[in-house]
Amino acid sequence: MTTAQNNKKNNSTMSTNTTPAGNCGCNAPKPSPAYPAQVTGMDILARALRMVGIDTMYGLVGIPVTDFSYIAQDRGIRFIGFRHEQQAGMAAATHGYLTATPGVLLTVSSLGFLNGLTATANATVNCYPMIQISGSSVREPIDLLQGTYEGLDQLNIAKPLVKAAYRVNKPQDIPTAVVRAYRAAISGRPGGVYLDVTTPCLGAIMDSAEAEKLFFEPVDLCPAAPPAPAAVTRAMQLIASAKKPAIIIGKGAAYAKVEDKLDKFVKATGIPYLPMSMAKGVLPDNGPLSALSCRSTVMEESDVVILAGARLNWLLSRGQGKWNPDTKFVQLDIEPTEIDCNRHISAPVIGDLSSTLDAMLKALPDYKMSMDPAWVPSLQTQTKEKNAKFAQRLTDNANAQPMNHWTALSAIKPVLEANPDVILVNEGANTLDDTRDAVDMSLPRHRIDCATWAIMGMGMGSAIGAAVATGKSVVAIEGDSAFGFSGMDFSTICRFKLPVTVVIFNNGGIYNGIGVNLSGNGDPAPTTLDVTARYDKLGDAFGAKTYYVTTPSELSAALNEAIALRGPVLIDVQLGADSGKESGHIGYLNPEALEHITV
């Protein structure tokens, strides 16, 4: 133990001793009556978090939160220390999504706060519950712009990017602030919450007897929100009248853990379903009623579509484009302002999905479905044709040398499908799109990806959050570019000995490695990275088991071994530099400037 660590241990022991016995799970001795025991804001914060059930915190410490992290660890909150706050935030968000309780991120002031805020903003957009707790500098010189250490008006910067933001200035307010932050993160549509705790508040000292009076047991932290009966009736009437109905399952349904209820509804009605990316596996991708391969047909032909925890946002062409203008929508969502946002919604049902599906299942015997008997068989025929074509593509590429994305995926697909309980984290452009298409999921909440914003740089954090929150094995399939955003946090996987395998598809670039520098000045093109880079050596530096693979059989063997190992593994997959196209499946979103440049 270094001197610094010793100092921290002593600090932590000191505060343990001054905390009243029996209130924090540690066997603290009773304080001497001659000297009233005292606690700091940090003790109160740790205890307030424990009282709402927080048992894990992700973060990166420094002034002014280091002592707090030691105290929290001492009080039974597992602390997962990262190399970059953004990744710690991605981990907290994934923890929140998988457990349906807020994930907690701890950051230092100014830059640490800003780095973490990107993840909190991303969590808000994705409806993941999380709380970013950040230390902040003394208020007065910040407000007077007097130039103080890491002085930044963090609360006001956070406000437009999060669901709710609070500042605590005095220790007496900490328990209330924590409960409010928790409720804000989890209630209604979940999201990111910012909790600003000033340095004086963290360091403030109170008599513990006084502090004791501040705590209360919050009642019903996440109340059910059942839908209005009239809304359920309206929706059921429309569904019963449909000739070609379909259910689009979104990650809101995965979050709400309603797979059993959805399964009952689908089985009872015979309505086919189409999962959004992170909802793959809520119901099995390859089940008889899965319309996963018939997305265009659903958009063009369905007369009634039920959106179950899915938004009609850009990922569903905002209800425009291919969508049939006559399609009617039933939307099951917890957020009333989502309704009518891109298309007229004929039957909104506002409530938590669990209560909503209960109400719909209860009503179901009163309705007779009028589904066209040819609808499901036609989707099944189409599914067969499309799947055969897709399988052919994998077979055609299975032995390509150098490997391309499909070669690698032809090796990975059978291994992952034989290990359905492995959580798949996935980011990149082609690596994301092709993996999503290739790997069928059969269990809910087993696919975590760049989601609503389609951002890069969520991989290591999400893999760590998933492994810590569930204890399950995780495989992260990463493009080389995507991995670069968060690669240093592979070392966090190693330090915490997590059962995470990181698979890097190295094609040497953003999209691919064959970009041409139009100026001819010898610099790499903007999209060019390094196709000869040996990412496996990065794993060696931190003691992971590593592989460098150039053939599908090597890849398949490595992945099987890695999953069996249940420890940190890095597999560097050598692809050809020409594998992959610009922006993967969403190239159409690029402005078309390059066509106008004459080289």
Q: Which amino acid is at 441?
A: M
- Indicate the pairing of strand 103-107 with strand 130-136: parallel
DSSP letters, 57-99, are: EEE---TTTHHHHHHHHHTT-EEEE-SSHHHHHHHHHHHHHHH
Report d(CA 242, CA 126) in Å as an integer: 31
State the nearest-atom distance from the C-beta of 480 to Mg ion, in Å.
4
Cβ atoms of 190 and 129 within 8 Å: the answer is yes
State the nearest-atom distance from the C-beta of 257 to ligand ADP, in Å.
9
Judged by beta carbon, residue 279 or residue 503, the one nearer ligand ADP is: 279
Q: Which amino acid is at 507?
A: N
Q: Indicate which single residue of 83, 180, 189, 566 sits in contact with ligand ADP (rule: CB under 6 A).
A: 189
Q: First vs last Cα of the chain: how many Å apart?
A: 61
Q: Indicate which single residue of 134, 269, 462, 507 sits in contact with Mg ion (rule: CB under 5 A).
A: 507
- What's the chain's length in residues? 599
Judged by beta carbon, residue 259 or residue 338, the one nearer ligand ADP is: 338
Judged by beta carbon, residue 281 or residue 576, the one nearer ligand ADP is: 281
Q: Indicate which single residue of 28, 240, 276, 411 sits in contact with ligand ADP (rule: CB under 6 A).
A: 276
Residue 285 touches ligand ADP, criterion: CB under 6 A: no
Residue 479 touches Mg ion, criterion: CB under 5 A: yes
Residue 310 touches ligand ADP, criterion: CB under 6 A: yes
Q: Kindly calculate the radius of gyration of the chain based on its CA atoms and give it in whole angstroms.
A: 26
For the record, the structure tokens of 408 come out as: 């690698």
Report d(CA 517, CA 594) in Å as an integer: 12
Cβ atoms of 428 and 57 within 8 Å: the answer is no
Count of beta carbons in the 10 Å neighbourhood of residue 382: 15
Judged by beta carbon, residue 50 or residue 251, the one nearer ligand ADP is: 251
Binding segment for ligand ADP (CB under 6 A), chosen from 37-45, 135-143, 229-237, 308-316, is 308-316
Q: Indicate which single residue of 397, 481, 486, 491 sits in contact with Mg ion (rule: CB under 5 A).
A: 481
Cβ atoms of 451 and 278 within 8 Å: the answer is yes
Contact partner, 252, from Mg ion, ligand ADP, none, Cβ < 5-8 Å per class = ligand ADP
Closest residue to ligand ADP, based on beta-carbon distance: 252
Contact partner, 353, from Mg ion, ligand ADP, none, Cβ < 5-8 Å per class = ligand ADP
Residue 309 touches ligand ADP, criterion: CB under 6 A: yes
Residue in 518, 425, 533 with CA at minimum distance from that of residue 481 = 533
Judged by beta carbon, residue 408 or residue 423, the one nearer Mg ion is: 408
For the record, the structure tokens of 548 come out as: 């460098």
Residue 278 touches ligand ADP, criterion: CB under 6 A: yes
Cβ-based burial of 530 (10 A; exposed 0-12, middle 13-18, buried ≥19): middle
State the nearest-atom distance from the C-beta of 355 to Mg ion, in Å.
44
Neighbouring residues of 363: CB distance < 8 A, sequence distance ≥ 6: 232, 233, 236
State the nearest-atom distance from the C-beta of 285 to ligand ADP, in Å.
14
Residue 305 touches ligand ADP, criterion: CB under 6 A: no
Contact partner, 480, from Mg ion, ligand ADP, none, Cβ < 5-8 Å per class = Mg ion
For the record, the structure tokens of 47 come out as: 């205890």
Report d(CA 14, CA 31) in Å as an integer: 12
Binding segment for ligand ADP (CB under 6 A), chosen from 83-91, 328-336, 401-409, 485-493, is 328-336
Residue 302 touches Mg ion, criterion: CB under 5 A: no
Residue 459 touches Mg ion, criterion: CB under 5 A: no
The interface with ligand ADP within residues 248-267 (CB under 6 A) comprises 250-252, 255-256
Residue 427 touches Mg ion, criterion: CB under 5 A: no
- Consecutive H or E run containing 299: helix 295-301
Neighbouring residues of 147: CB distance < 8 A, sequence distance ≥ 6: 141
Contact partner, 558, from Mg ion, ligand ADP, none, Cβ < 5-8 Å per class = none
Cβ-based burial of 389 (10 A; exposed 0-12, middle 13-18, buried ≥19): exposed
For the record, the structure tokens of 130 come out as: 């999380």
State the nearest-atom distance from the C-beta of 116 to Mg ion, in Å.
27
* Alpha helices (H) in 213-294, listed in sequence order: 229-241, 251-255, 259-269
Residue 279 touches ligand ADP, criterion: CB under 6 A: yes
Contact partner, 310, from Mg ion, ligand ADP, none, Cβ < 5-8 Å per class = ligand ADP
DSSP symbol at 146: -
Judged by beta carbon, residue 227 or residue 479, the one nearer Mg ion is: 479
The interface with ligand ADP within residues 231-250 (CB under 6 A) comprises 250
For the record, the structure tokens of 275 come out as: 């999962």
Q: Indicate which single residue of 338, 358, 440, 478 sits in contact with ligand ADP (rule: CB under 6 A).
A: 338
Judged by beta carbon, residue 135 or residue 348, the one nearer ligand ADP is: 348
The interface with ligand ADP within residues 353-412 (CB under 6 A) comprises 353
Residue 455 touches ligand ADP, criterion: CB under 6 A: no
Residue 123 touches ligand ADP, criterion: CB under 6 A: no
Helix axes 430-438, 375-397, angle to 10 degrees: 120
Q: Can you give 249-260 as a three-state secondary structure string? A: ECHHHHHCCCHH
Q: Indicate which single residue of 67, 173, 433, 480 sits in contact with Mg ion (rule: CB under 5 A).
A: 480
Residue 527 touches Mg ion, criterion: CB under 5 A: no
Residue 221 touches ligand ADP, criterion: CB under 6 A: no
Residue 313 touches ligand ADP, criterion: CB under 6 A: yes
Residue 426 touches Mg ion, criterion: CB under 5 A: no
State the nearest-atom distance from the C-beta of 258 to ligand ADP, in Å.
8
State the nearest-atom distance from the C-beta of 453 to ligand ADP, in Å.
10
Residue in 561, 547, 572, 585 with CA at minimum distance from that of residue 403 = 572
Residue in 78, 184, 68 with CA at minimum distance from that of residue 123 = 184
For the record, the structure tokens of 81 come out as: 């220390």
Draw the binding track, 32-71, toward Mg ion (x: CB under 5 A; -: no contact): ----------------------------------------
Q: Can you give 95-121 as a three-state secondary structure string? A: HHHHHCCCEEEEECCCHHHHHHHHHHH
Residue in 224, 220, 232 with CA at minimum distance from that of residue 352 = 224
Contact partner, 352, from Mg ion, ligand ADP, none, Cβ < 5-8 Å per class = ligand ADP
Cβ atoms of 152 and 181 within 8 Å: the answer is no
Residues found near ligand ADP in the complex (CB under 6 A): 126-127, 189-190, 250-252, 255-256, 276, 278-279, 309-311, 313, 315, 333-335, 338, 352-353, 452
Residues found near Mg ion in the complex (CB under 5 A): 479-481, 507
